[in-house]
Amino acid sequence: MKKILGSILLLSSIFFFSCNDAAKESGTTTTETETINPGGQSSVKDDESAKDVVKIAVGSADHSTLVAALKQADLVNSLSNAGPFTVFAPTNAAFDKVPKETLDNLMKDENKAQLQDILQYHVYVGSLKTEMMEDGQTFNQVNGGNITITKKDGKVMVNNSATVIASIPASNGIIHVIDGVLLPPANK
């Protein structure tokens, strides 16, 4: 109950503040739009539809590092869009292979652009099942860089460095769980 009361108080204070902003007639766009919708598309309340790529990742204990990174890179709303997306989703164990210092650095605000670049390299616009992929095929990822698929004996690898260990269909695309973090080619 306390929680509910708290949120009501919070709500009323938001109302109060938004009014003040309007009264000032100089409220910035961000404050106004935040009042209209603080969360964007990812905050749409819907427990009935199939889960999108973000919700699946959030619900996976093996992807907490990825989810934290997506949040830090402001990609959560974009990936809640209609897509369709193919997300190559490194597991926590995959992220553990990256030196901790590197990872910590990427999570800093000043390195957001670099983090976005890396994460966008894990996303393709289009829903690709592994059976659609061919050996040697390249796909141009959201960040602009290409990945190369190798397919041998039913095993699908990305850039010869990460193996697809599971594929999970989502409402707005598909997630391929991979055991390595993909690094964008440097000379982009």
Partner 1 sequence: MKRYYFKTHVVLIMTSACLLFLQSCKPKTAQSAAGGDASKSYVAPGKYDEFYNIVSGGFNGQVAVYGIPSGRLFRIIPVFSQAAESGYGFSEETKPMLNTSHGFVPWDDQHHIALSQTKGEHDGRWAFANGNNTPRLARIDLTTFRTSEILEIPNSAGNHASPFITENSEYIVAATRFSVPLDDQNGDVPINTYKQNFKGSISFVSVNPTSGEMNIAFQIRTPGVNFDLSRAGKGKSHGWFFFSCYNSEKANTLLEVNASQKDKDFVMAVNWKKAEEYLKAGKAKKQSVKYAHNVYDENTHTATSTIKTEVMVLDPADCPEMLYLIPCPKSPHGTDVDPTGEYIVASGKLAASIPVFSFTKLQKAIADKAFDGEYDGIPVIKYEAALHGEVAKPGLGPLHTEFDGKGNAYTSMFVSSEVVKWSISDLKVLDRVPTYYSIGHLSIPGGPTAKPHGKYLIAYNKITKDRYLPTGPELTQSAQLYDISGEKMKLILDFPTTGEPHYAEAIPASLLMNKQRKIYKIEENTHPYVAKGEGQSRVERKGNQVHVWMTAIRSHLTPDNIEGIKVGDEVYFHVTNLEQDWDVPHGFALKGANTAEILIMPGETQTLKWVADKPGIVPFYCTDFCSALHQEMQGYLRVSPAGSNVPLLFSTGTNKPAVTGTDTTKK
Candidate list 128, 162, 164, 170; residue touching partner 1; CB under 8 A: 128
* 137-156: burial string, b at 16+ Cβ within 10 Å, e else: eebebbbebebebbbeeeeb
Write down the least CB distance from residue 158 to partner 1, Å: 15
| Residue 82 Cα distances to 34, 53, 54, 63, 94, angstroms | 22, 10, 12, 22, 27
Residue entry with tokens 């983090």: 115
Cα R_g (the chain), whole angstroms: 20
Which of 50, 132, 135, 166 touches partner 1 by CB under 8 A? 132
How many angstroms separate the most distant Cα atoms in the chain?
Answer: 67
Contact region for partner 1 (CB under 8 A) — 33-41, 62-70, 87-95, 102-110?
Answer: 33-41
* Contact predicate 60/53, CB 8 Å: no
d(CA 121, CA 129): 18
**In whole angstroms, how close is the CB of 143 to partner 1 at the nearest point?**
6
State which of positions 103-122 bind partner 1 (CB under 8 A). 113, 120
Position 81 contacts partner 1 (CB under 8 A): yes
Whether 69 contacts 158, CB under 8 Å: no
| Mask for 38-67, x = binds partner 1 (CB under 8 A) | --xx-xxxx---------------------
Among 58, 68, 71, 77, binds partner 1 (CB under 8 A): 77
- Site residues, partner 1 (CB under 8 A): 1, 4-5, 8-9, 11-12, 15-16, 18-20, 22-23, 25, 28-29, 32-33, 35-37, 40-41, 43-46, 77-78, 81-84, 113, 120, 125-128, 132, 137-140, 142-144, 146
